[in-house]
């Protein structure tokens, strides 16, 4: 099938590459010329396992092209996926300017039937706004006597991939959610979407068909549920620290109940990324617009904001308010492993806190170092100087002369380090483990002073 993807970011690039891999003819559009040039020169702007190979293979086969040409992109795809960003607006609601700009472009250039798919995470009712934006452009063109009437259908198909496992998730989805309306155009869209996703449903049916608004809502409800589990465990961990309980033991104890399950029950130093923080906020704003307060989500957000300071607070409790003259090692910068994404990463909060209190820091992340340099320069402004933050060559190099190690991202490579070497590199053997990678008893036996999250067991 002929597919256009509008927006070549994490979701758009993975969607485009994977749909090409399945044999579709895919045209990826972006407004960012630099990104398109990089892709056309064989580069990949993001870190995602397996993506580079798929992009290279499908470009070579002529099934995947990258361009900034809007008219050509609209002409190409019978199905037009909108996969642009929906960042938080000033009040926390989803900023739809990029989605609506993409919709207007479609309306401006389309000459035949199109299925317009909202793949971006968008609030309930956005499909109606996309339809109106396209209709507005079509109406403006009606003065053109050459113009035949053209029809379209707007479909909601939210994306559930996880950064760090995006290709795998897209290729083997737990579920595919598609919302169509029941007009004749909606029925045609339903048939075309069913055809497109047929390869994913071979073993068993994974597609949940529903109305458009329910599909839009499903994405927010899913992210809100996951964020809630994390904040719940973080709140339990804070109490565990006070009452002398090991939250990891508790996690096993409750996760084994199938009604609860093991996933997303990890206490840590807060969730980040481009989705949970903004989607929780956007759902709260949607509720507010309808006169409802989402009390649980307000608490989820508050707990998470507080949790991003937990490592800083533990460091201050140990070393004092004034950290001038102190030097720390920081392992992990990305908001989670296997990605270079630094959006809303907990590392940014901790780094700002340490630097503002006068400390120096040596940081290391297996893939996010270039992105971190870009982002930290924006975060820290004039205080960002390479004297205060050193970008280490590797994990062990970061430790040299540090008063303590803080761990923020649970990269696999940090799970089983050579503890003897680790201890020898540090000035004092103190570890603040923001992801509970190690066992307190084993760390004590190895001669470390160990501070986990919710692991202050009274013995």
Number of residues that bind ligand NAD (CB under 6 A): 26
Report if residue 120 touches ligand NAD, rule: CB under 6 A: yes
Using the rule CB under 6 A, which residue among 9, 77, 312, 366 binds ligand NAD? 9
Binding mask 31-70 for ligand NAD (x = CB under 6 A): xx--x-----------------------------------
Q: Is residue 139 a contact partner of residue 166, using CB atoms and an 8 Å limit?
A: no
Neighbours of 356 (CB within 10 A): 12
Q: Which two tokens stand for residue 123?
A: 């609030």
- Alpha helix (H) ranges present in 172-246? 184-196, 212-243
State the nearest-atom distance from the C-beta of 111 to ligand NAD, in Å: 19
Residues sharing a CB contact under 8 Å with residue 384, sequence separation 6 or more, in sequence order: 376, 377
- If binding is defined by CB under 6 A, does position 299 make contact with ligand NAD? no
Does 164 sit near ligand NAD (CB under 6 A)?
A: no
163 binds ligand NAD (CB under 6 A): yes
Q: Tell me: does residue 29 bind ligand NAD (CB under 6 A).
A: yes
| Catalytically annotated residue among 18, 28, 269, 275 | 275
269 counts as catalytic: no
- The answer to the question of residue 8 lying near ligand NAD (CB under 6 A) is yes
Least Cα distance to 122 among 162, 159, 151, 163 occurs for 159
Three-class DSSP labels, 317-351 = HHHCCCCCCCEEEEECCCCCCCCCCCCCCHHHHHH
Output 7 or 429, the one with its CB closest to ligand NAD. Answer: 7
3-state class of 79 per DSSP? strand
C-beta separation of 54 from 91 below 8 A: no
Contact pattern from residue 79 through residue 118 relative to ligand NAD, giving x for each residue in contact according to CB under 6 A and a dash for the rest: ----xxxx-----------x--xx----------------
Minimum gap (Å) between residue 441 Cβ and ligand NAD? 36
State in angstroms the smallest separation of the CB of 153 from ligand NAD: 20
Task: Give backbone dihedrals phi and psi of 428, rounded to 5 degrees, phi first.
Answer: -125, 140
- CB-nearest residue to ligand NAD: 9
With beta carbons less than 8 A apart as the criterion, state whether 279 and 95 touch.
no
Question: Is residue 425 within 8 Å of 400, Cβ to Cβ?
Answer: yes
Query: Which lies closer to ligand NAD via its Cβ, residue 275 or residue 297?
Result: 275
Q: Is 391 helix (H, G, I), strand (E, B) or coil?
A: strand
Q: Does 425 bind ligand NAD (CB under 6 A)?
A: no
Tell me which residues touch ligand NAD (CB under 6 A): 6-12, 29-32, 35, 83-86, 98, 101-102, 120-121, 159, 161, 163, 274-275
- Point out the residues that are catalytic: 275
């Amino acid at each position: 099938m002929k597919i256009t993807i509008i927006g070549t970011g994490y979701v758009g690039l993975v969607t485009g590459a994977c749909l090409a891999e399945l044999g579709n003819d895919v045209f990826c559009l972006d407004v960012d010329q630099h990104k398109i040039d990089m892709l056309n020169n064989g580069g990949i702007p993001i870190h995602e396992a397996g993506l580079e190979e798929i992009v290279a293979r499908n470009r070579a086969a002529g099934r995947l092209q990258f361009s900034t040409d809007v008219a050509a992109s609209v002409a190409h795809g019978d199905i037009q996926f909108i996969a642009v960003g929906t960042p938080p607006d000033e009040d926390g609601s989803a900023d739809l300017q990029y989605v609506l700009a993409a919709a207007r472009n479609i309306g401006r250039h389309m000459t035949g039937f199109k299925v317009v798919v909202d793949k971006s995470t968008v609030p309930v009712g956005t499909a109606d706004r996309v339809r109106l934006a396209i209709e507005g452009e079509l109406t403006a063109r009606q003065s053109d006597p050459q113009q035949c009437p053209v029809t379209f259908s707007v479909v909601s198909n939210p994306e559930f991939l996880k950064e760090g496992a995006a290709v795998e998730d897209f290729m083997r989805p737990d579920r595919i959610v598609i919302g169509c309306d029941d007009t004749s155009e909606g029925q045609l869209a339903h048939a075309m979407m069913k055809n497109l996703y047929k390869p994913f449903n071979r073993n068993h049916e994974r597609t949940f068909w529903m109305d458009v608004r329910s599909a839009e809502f499903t994405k927010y409800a899913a992210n809100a549920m996951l964020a809630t589990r994390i904040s719940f465990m973080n709140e339990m961990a804070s109490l565990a620290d006070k009452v002398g309980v090991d939250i990891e033991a508790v996690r096993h104890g409750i996760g084994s109940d199938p009604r609860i399950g093991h996933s997303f029950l990890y206490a840590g130093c807060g969730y980040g990324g481009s989705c949970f923080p903004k989607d929780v906020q956007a759902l709260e704003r949607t509720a507010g617009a309808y006169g409802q307060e989402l009390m649980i989500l307000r608490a989820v957000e508050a707990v998470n904001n507080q949790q991003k300071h937990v490592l800083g607070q533990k460091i201050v409790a140990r070393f004092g308010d004034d950290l001038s003259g102190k030097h720390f090692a920081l392992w992990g910068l990305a908001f989670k492993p296997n990605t270079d994404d630094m959006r809303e990463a907990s590392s940014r909060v901790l780094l700002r806190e340490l630097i503002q209190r006068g400390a120096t820091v040596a940081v290391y992340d297996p893939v996010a170092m270039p992105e971190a340099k870009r982002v930290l320069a924006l975060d820290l402004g004039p205080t960002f100087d390479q004297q205060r933050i050193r970008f280490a060559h590797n994990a062990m190099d970061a430790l040299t002369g540090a008063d303590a190690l803080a761990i923020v991202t649970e990269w696999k490579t940090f799970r089983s380090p050579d503890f003897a070497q680790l201890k020898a590199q540090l000035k004092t053997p103190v570890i603040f483990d923001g992801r509970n990678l190690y066992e307190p008893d084993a760390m004590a036996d190895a001669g470390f002073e160990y501070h986990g999250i919710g692991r202050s067991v009274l013995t």
